[in-house]
Structure 1
Amino acid sequence: MTSVDNILTGKYPAKAHARRVADLLKARHGGAGAIYLEAQKTRMIEDSDETMPFRQRRPFFYLTGCLLPDAAVVYDAVADQLTLFVPPIDEESVIWSGLPLSPEEASKLYDVDRVLFTTDINSTLASIASTHNGKTAAFSIAEQVSEGTSFKGFAETNVSALKTAIEDTRVIKDAYEVALLRKANEISTKAHVAAIEAAKTATNERQIEAAIIGACIANGCREQSYHPIVAGGEGGATLHYVRNDVDLIDPDTKQRKNNVLIDAGGEYQTYCADITRVIPLNGKFATETRQIYEIVLQMQMECIAMLKEGVCWDDVHALAHRIAIRGLLELGILRGSEEELFEKRISVAFFPHGLGHYLGMDTHDTGGNPNYEDKDTMFRYLRVRANLPAGSVITVEPGIYFCRFIIDPVLNSPETGKYIDAEVLKRYWKVGGVRIEDNIHITKDGFENLTTAPKTIMEVESLAM
């Protein structure tokens, strides 16, 4: 058993999370008498007797570690008591779905003080309000409270502050959460290796996607963190490519395309991996793809080396752009001075997105405080605008893309067109895009890379042959 598996044999630290959220509410709003959250409801597919795919509400999971639908939780912050509520037996549904989890079984599974039925919610809330003489507040989330749930007896009911408090608390992961993310990465690495193997004979993007999903499910990730991106050739220039059904044979040359960009990760017990790799479809990278890959890999490695507690993410992002500019200057795609190209934001045409985002229960996890109204194009789409705290987990995913819709306006502008050599650029359109992405745990003195999927050119080519 690995050290990760050893950690995960314990219970998800729900009560520690409840305390952290309550402490933040106390600091911001003077305290909380009760925190109330509901699980996602069972929802039926229209015109069918089948349920819709289930995705647990993240705030509820953070305070319970529970994946049951139709459940609820109350944290009495004054008494430090966490109560999980599970649905009672519905005799008519037992024949179809079996017996639900009992309170006794739930008590053994989850880090809570007691387990009651959902029919006990109102009486429990009323008891907490009475115990505190009606002088404390109840916190919940707007539009996530069932009709009939009563907060009578509390001094106030706040439905606006809790969601933000949980989102901010989630930025810093504890050891259990890091273990979940590491496990998701371990399984997703197997999926990326399976994708490389499938790519040797694949004739369509969907065959590679099938290998990714199959490997994730077989190894314990029933769900994907997001729909996989499998983009052959010039499709890699589309950042959130969704087709995954295009032939890998070039219709003009009748030859296999040079490369495929794969952005995929499995979800393990709600925690996400998010990994991007580019692999050659012919065993070895074509010259132009290799050149761009080397630049992007240097961007990533130097940015990762910069990471530690307190580093400004804006500065790391800016470093990635400077390395991209140097590399594209060396290839002759750009011309001019490095400083002028940086100040004119020319590299944004080739690297238009942010360097990365927080990672956790959501792929684009909470607490990043982006500023999409920023007039500076280099930072507009940066999803994290902060000094990184120890305990956060962030993706580092630089890329260089050859997207005509982004580059052509820069190329055709009298002011900026002089910085790009159109003749040299012609050789690189077929690359599409190269992005390399790892998941990094920030520590006080540095970082841990949770991602072990093959990444160097030698590693990738040795598997792709």
Structure 2
Amino acid sequence: MSDYRNHVRDLVQQWRQVLTATRIDAVVIAAGSPQNYFLDDQAPPYRANPHFSQWVGGAECPHSLLLVTHTSRPRLYFQQVEDYWHQPPVRPELEDAIDVEVHADGSQLLAAVAKAVERSNRTAYIGEAQAGSNLPFDDINPPLLLNALHYGRAKKTPFEIACMRTATAIAVKGHRAAAAAFEAGASEFDIHMAYIGAARQADADLPYASIVALNGHAGVLHYQHRDPSAPNTALSFLIDAGARHRGYAADITRTYAAAGAGAFAELVADLDARQQAIIASIHTGMSYVDLHESAHRHVAHVLVNHGLVRCTAEAAFERHITDVFFPHGLGHLIGIQTHDVAGHMISAEGGLRPPPDRYPALRLTRPIENGQVFTIEPGLYFIPMLLRGLRSSPAGKDVDWPQVDALMAYGGIRIEDNVLVTESGIENFTRDAFATQ
């Protein structure tokens, strides 16, 4: 049996257990549909409901619905209209794991779904609430159902893991091309074009908008522009860019120093080594919050080792100096969504573990378990608005400001890998892909 068919079998078992626990007889999952911009006849790129994508392996099925019950095989009600303005969606290849019923007319599709659930005592709907109002559902996006499904998504099936390995390999091709373009003196725009050309994925296919940042732009954590003009002098390059395969994401960041950027290049090398040390320390059962805190201690040592602070590493951590240089979380769950759901959940019932007050941006707080895939992405940045506050605080006296000021033009560093937790250790999708390309 293929990985995909096993994946659907596992989903059927998991969802039926959740339906029993929540006393729901059937659930209809909407693929979603393109939505036009306000007062316009153009729409942004369509992105399917992630709960729908998980079942169909990322197949494009706008306007379609999927029915899951306690007793019947899952059934896809696939809308395939006749159209000469746009290419109709292609019936997905689901390896006979899911029954498919094709409808050319949307109203007939809705009628077929309504008939299929008419004997159900309680039918839930997962999707955009307004669309769900067209059918007689008892519950629209019930929290108890979503909590249980979201919590379970943290553990990946072999099919999902294989998709993420492939997505990583695709992204690494783009990263190699982007690094070469940077070395050739390209602009942010041209580096991005090199990336998508090598990855063979259009912007709309990517899991998120690529961050392509030269020089000081690397100090903007989610820098969103792509300057078409190359800087007069390129000092540094940070790229945070991914790819998708069958709906599953890769999320990779690398930072490069230009030739002659000795001090900054040494910082990049040190943070890269420490990122690998953080990954080597991961084990099942440990708290991701503790892992994040260990990353802060590593950053503290980088600051001390490179003369950016005059105090000890322990003092840099205790005085929250590291918070200014490393202001985001260490990582997040990843899967069908780049920032996958349930990072703060500690139970299928919806119990939450909020991030500590000191680390409000931390997206993952639950214990580490086998089958989870998450990112490890420590950073070290020179962000003017944050450094201004540190400079005027009592802890500012511990900073070697001439050294820091000399690095401001480089923006910052982030190194990000995607890792899988297994019984035998950690599989690093990202490093493995870079090692073979």
Cα distance, 1:49–1:337 mapped onto 2, change above 3 Å: closer
Give, in angstroms, the shift of residue 150 of structure 1. 1.9
Q: Which residue number in structure 1 is paired with residue 223 of structure 2? A: 241
SS of the residue corresponding to residue 56 of structure 2 reads coil
Matched, 1:215 2:198: yes
Q: Which residue number in structure 2 is paired with residue 13 of structure 1? A: 7
Alpha-carbon distance in structure 2 between the residues aligned to 1:190 and 1:349: 33
Please report the TM-score for the alignment, with normalisation by the length of structure 2.
0.87
Q: Which residue number in structure 2 is paired with residue 278 of structure 1? A: 255
Alpha-carbon distance in structure 1 between the residues aligned to 2:374 and 2:87: 40
Matched, 1:445 2:424: yes
Cα distance, 1:33–1:454 mapped onto 2, change above 3 Å: closer
Letter in 2 for 1:353: H
Q: Which residue number in structure 2 is paired with residue 394 of structure 1? A: 374
Q: Which residue number in structure 1 is paired with residue 348 of structure 2? A: none
- Note the 1:78-93 alignment, pairs <5 A: 79-87=71-79, 89-90=81-82, 93=83
Give, in angstroms, the shift of residue 166 of structure 1. 2.7
SS of the residue corresponding to residue 452 of structure 1 reads helix
Q: Deviations over 1:241-278 (max 9, x none)?
A: 1122064434xxxxx22221111111222211111111
Conserved 8 A contact 1:193-1:453: no
Alpha-carbon distance in structure 2 between the residues aligned to 1:127 and 1:24: 20
SS of the residue corresponding to residue 374 of structure 2 reads strand
Matched, 1:321 2:296: yes
Q: Deviations over 1:205-246 (max 9, x none)?
A: 11101101111226x997112111111112111111112206
Aligned counterpart in structure 1 of residue 173 of structure 2, from 183, 190, 196:
190
* Structure 1, 157-166 or 57-66: larger mean CA deviation: 157-166
Alpha-carbon distance in structure 1 between the residues aligned to 2:77 and 2:153: 23
Aligned counterpart in structure 1 of residue 412 of structure 2, from 423, 433, 436:
433
Aligned counterpart in structure 2 of residue 26 of structure 1, from 20, 23, 45:
20
Aligned counterpart in structure 1 of residue 188 of structure 2, from 198, 205, 229:
205
Cα distance, 1:418–1:176 mapped onto 2, change above 3 Å: same
Alpha-carbon distance in structure 1 between the residues aligned to 2:41 and 2:295: 51
* Structure 1, 176-185 or 334-343: larger mean CA deviation: 334-343
Letter in 2 for 1:75: V
Cα distance, 1:221–1:11 mapped onto 2, change above 3 Å: farther
Q: Which residue number in structure 1 is paired with residue 389 of structure 2? A: 409
Alpha-carbon distance in structure 1 between the residues aligned to 2:37 and 2:405: 49
- Note the 1:295-334 alignment, pairs <5 A: 295-334=270-309
Give, in angstroms, the shift of residue 84 of structure 1. 0.7
Give, in angstroms, the shift of residue 17 of structure 1. 1.8
Q: Which residue number in structure 2 is paired with residue 3 of structure 1? A: none
Conserved 8 A contact 1:230-1:262: yes
Q: Which residue number in structure 2 is paired with residue 167 of structure 1? A: 150
Alpha-carbon distance in structure 2 between the residues aligned to 1:144 and 1:445: 46
Conserved 8 A contact 2:284-2:421: yes
- Note the 1:1-400 alignment, pairs <5 A: 10-11=4-5, 13-27=7-21, 29=22, 31-44=23-36, 52-65=44-57, 66-77=59-70, 79-87=71-79, 89-90=81-82, 93=83, 95-97=84-86, 101=90, 106=92, 109=95, 111-115=97-101, 117=103, 119-130=108-119, 134=121, 136-141=122-127, 143=129, 145-151=131-137, 156-157=138-139, 159-161=141-143, 162-217=145-200, 223-245=205-227, 247-250=229-232, 256-282=233-259, 286-369=261-344, 376-377=357-358, 379-400=359-380
Q: Deviations over 1:409-460 (max 9, x none)?
A: 11211x211221213323322331011111001112321001138879xx9x
In the alignment, structure 1 segments of 5+ residues that lack a partner are 1-5, 251-255
